[in-house]
């Protein structure tokens, strides 16, 4: 197990402080790979709808570890390491496809869709010459298999037997909020990747940070999509690393706290020429116009009006993260509903009126703390604890992230 | 080859990229007809027939909203683009309409001095040859970027 230097002790204030070395340290990063992504946490792999047919596969990652997710010949979702037992080459090179078996291109060792090594080319040699002795056990180096759980069409995988069952890991209140969005079969509308020049935790904190949303994102506050005085709340679940925040439909009697406080995000004089982009349908029927949900360490589910998406947060080094977006609608959508979702897709992704700013903000922190490894950020909005809250002027779900993170990391 | 048509279309595309690279974004919606469509998507979505776009607009008004958001609402660091566009394949569709396909590369220059190849791809255009002021305008411009990845953010249009 990689050691953490003694100088890397967590500040005595506990969850109310986050030391900046946590975003910078190579040893910490290596330990995260081992204790979180390859440890007792659930990795999000994608939507089950990405693998509709028997034999469908996709390649993705559990942290930095390459994995293959398949739907095997029995229709079961499987996940295994994308590494040949022989010399360690990637087994699957394609992003996705359909196959009966998987053959390593290097020496043609083949695997079934569950990740079992099924044949070694010329294992007994040719005409009695060469080959491998009978007592060699290449299966001992076979790709590692993950435990897979599907919840509401979302695929998760873990290498550890210690990881609690998925729904318990997520927590009942947050799980209920997943069911709310994943209420019926989905239709994939497409995807893209946003490359963030920051540590993965800065992005995961950003998604959980209900305090920033209406202050950074002028779009939210100007059009009263999300102001902190609007009705809503934040629920922290599981060991602290799951959360859901939500905002109720805007109302005309909404206050003017932002204007009175002189917030940049309420600077007036800004209106849309094509306001139909913000016309939405209350398709879930509960008046919640915005719901952002996370599951530690790398899953985000988004409902911004009628823009629905999952985001997979993948670490790519201490200072680099890939955010893999998959936008979806429901299989029952008609052409008009798809068109409405397409208009609202302008809010999200690398060019999203809201999300583009998150791409920049996490990088501002990564660069801002370059000379401040031993200093710490102040995370005391809404107190020092981890609890659900009706107010979103709080950082409770950010502290929840650190609570679960520190337990995994032994920090 | 219709040399006059070729020159007219190439001139439209040249004026478009120079307007963006010169930070005359307010001129950008005017390159489209009023109900013009503009979208940016990835080659992966495009080839799989998936409708998702990175930017999607179905009117000049939506393009104008992009520009005003960039000028007044959105937070991003100062940056510029430099487009390089290949020679263009032009085909006449009917008396008033032509289609055009060009390759492009966009270098993004940050205020810090960092330059990078930000995007490469294709412009797939349908052009109305007698738009406002009898100038050609885009009825549709589909920007298909080759990669599925975008670094940090895509604020300025391609």
Report the range of poorest mean pLDDT among A4-8, A293-297, A320-324.
Answer: A4-8
How many Å lie between the alpha carbon of B1 and the closest alpha carbon of chain A? 37
- Is the ipTM, as predicted for this complex, more than 0.90? yes
> What does chain B come to in residues?
158
**A171-409 has the same fold as A44-149:** no
Phi-psi region for residue A131, left (φ > 0), alpha (ψ -120 to 50) or beta?
Answer: left
Q: What is the pTM of this model?
A: 0.95
Closest CA in chain B for residue A265: B73
Q: Which CATH class is domain A44-149?
A: mainly beta
Closest CA in chain B for residue A349: B54
Please state the domain extents for chain B. Answer: 3-145
pLDDT tens-place string over residues A38-80 = 999 999 999 999 999 999 999 999 999 999 999 999 999 999 9
Q: Residue A249's pLDDT band (boundaries 50, 70, 90)? A: confident
pLDDT tens-place string over residues A7-18 = 789 999 999 999
- Name which of B68, B75, B114 to mutate to probe chain A: the one with the most chain A Cβ atoms within 10 A of its Cβ: B75
CATH of the domain spanning B3-145: 3.10.450.50
Question: B-chain residues within 8 Å CB-CB of A216?
Answer: 75
HSE at residue B127, side-chain half, CA atoms within 13 A, is 28
Copy the structure tokens of residue A134: 């009978």
Question: In chain B, which residues have pLDDT < 50?
Answer: none
- Name which of B53, B59, B67 to mutate to probe chain A: the one with the most chain A Cβ atoms within 10 A of its Cβ: B53
Q: Which CATH number fits domain A171-409: 3.30.365.10, 3.90.380.10, 3.40.50.300, 2.60.40.650?
A: 3.90.380.10
Question: A-chain residues within 8 Å CB-CB of B40?
Answer: 351
Rg (CA), chain B: 15
What is the rounded CA–CA span in Å between residue B30 and residue B63? 9
- Name which of A50, A309, A346 to mutate to probe chain B: the one with the most chain B Cβ atoms within 10 A of its Cβ: A346
For residue A196, the tally of other CB atoms under 10 A from its CB is 28
What is the rounded CA–CA span in Å between residue B32 and residue B14? 14
DSSP conformational letter for A142: P
Please state the domain extents for chain A. Answer: 44-149, 171-409
With an 8 Å Cβ cutoff, is B76 touching chain A?
yes
Copy the structure tokens of residue A316: 């790519």
Closest CA in chain A for residue B58: A343
With an 8 Å Cβ cutoff, is A218 touching chain B?
yes
């Amino acid at each position: 197990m990689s050691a953490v230097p003694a100088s890397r002790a967590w500040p005595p204030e506990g969850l109310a402080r986050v030391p900046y070395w946590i975003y910078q340290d190579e040893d910490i990063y290596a330990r995260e790979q081992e204790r979180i992504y390859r440890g007792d946490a659930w990795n999000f792999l994608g939507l089950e709808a990405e693998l509709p047919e028997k034999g469908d596969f996709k390649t993705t990652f559990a942290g930095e570890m390459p994995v293959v997710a398949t739907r095997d010949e029995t229709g079961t979702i499987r996940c295994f390491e994308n590494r040949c037992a022989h010399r360690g080459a990637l087994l699957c090179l394609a992003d996705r496809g359909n196959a009966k078996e998987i053959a390593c291109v290097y020496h043609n060792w083949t695997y079934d869709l569950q990740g079992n090594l099924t044949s070694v080319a010329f294992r007994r040699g040719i005409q009695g010459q060469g080959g491998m002795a009978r007592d060699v056990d290449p299966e001992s180096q076979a790709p590692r298999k993950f435990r897979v759980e599907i919840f509401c069409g979302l695929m998760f995988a873990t290498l550890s037997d210690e990881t609690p069952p998925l729904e318990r890991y997520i927590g009942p209140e947050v799980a209920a909020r997943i069911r709310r969005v994943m209420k019926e079969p989905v239709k994939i509308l497409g995807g893209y990747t946003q490359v963030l020049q920051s540590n993965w935790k800065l992005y995961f904190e950003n998604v959980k940070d209900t305090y920033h949303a209406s202050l950074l994102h002028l779009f939210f506050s100007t059009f009263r999509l999300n102001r902190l005085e609007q009705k809503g709340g934040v629920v922290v679940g599981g060991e602290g690393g799951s959360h859901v925040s939500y905002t109720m439909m805007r109302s005309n009697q909404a206050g003017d706290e932002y204007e009175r406080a002189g917030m940049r995000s309420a600077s007036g004089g800004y209106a849309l020429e094509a306001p139909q982009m913000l016309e939405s349908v209350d398709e879930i029927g509960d008046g919640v116009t915005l719901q952002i949900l996370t599951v530690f360490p790398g899953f985000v589910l988004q409902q911004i009006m009628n823009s629905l998406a999952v985001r997979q947060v993948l670490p790519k080094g201490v200072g680099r993260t890939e955010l893999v977006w998959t936008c979806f609608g429901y299989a029952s959508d008609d052409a008009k509903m798809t068109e409405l979702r397409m208009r609202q897709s302008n809010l999200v992704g690398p060019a999203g009126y809201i999300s583009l700013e998150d791409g920049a903000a996490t990088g501002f922190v990564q660069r801002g703390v370059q000379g401040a490894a031993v200093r710490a950020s102040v995370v005391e909005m809404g107190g020092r604890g981890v609890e659900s809250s009706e107010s979103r002027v709080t950082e409770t779900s950010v502290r929840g992230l650190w609570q679960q993170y520190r337990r995994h990391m032994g920090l | 080859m219709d040399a006059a048509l070729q020159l007219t279309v190439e001139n439209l595309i040249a004026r478009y990229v120079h307007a963006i690279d010169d930070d005359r974004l307010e001129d950008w919606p005017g390159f489209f007809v009023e109900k013009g469509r503009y979208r940016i998507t990835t080659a992966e979505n495009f080839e799989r027939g998936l409708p998702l776009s990175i930017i999607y607009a179905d009117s000049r008004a939506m393009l104008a909203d992009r520009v005003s958001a960039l000028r007044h609402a959105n937070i991003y660091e100062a940056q510029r683009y430099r487009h390089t566009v290949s020679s263009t394949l032009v085909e006449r569709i009917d008396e008033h309409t032509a289609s055009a396909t060009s390759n492009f590369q966009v270098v993004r220059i940050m205020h810090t001095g960092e330059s990078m190849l930000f995007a490469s791809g294709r412009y797939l255009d349908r052009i109305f040859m007698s738009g406002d002021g009898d100038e050609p305008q885009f009825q549709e411009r589909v920007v298909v970027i080759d990669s599925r990845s975008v670094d940090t953010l895509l604020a300025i249009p391609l």
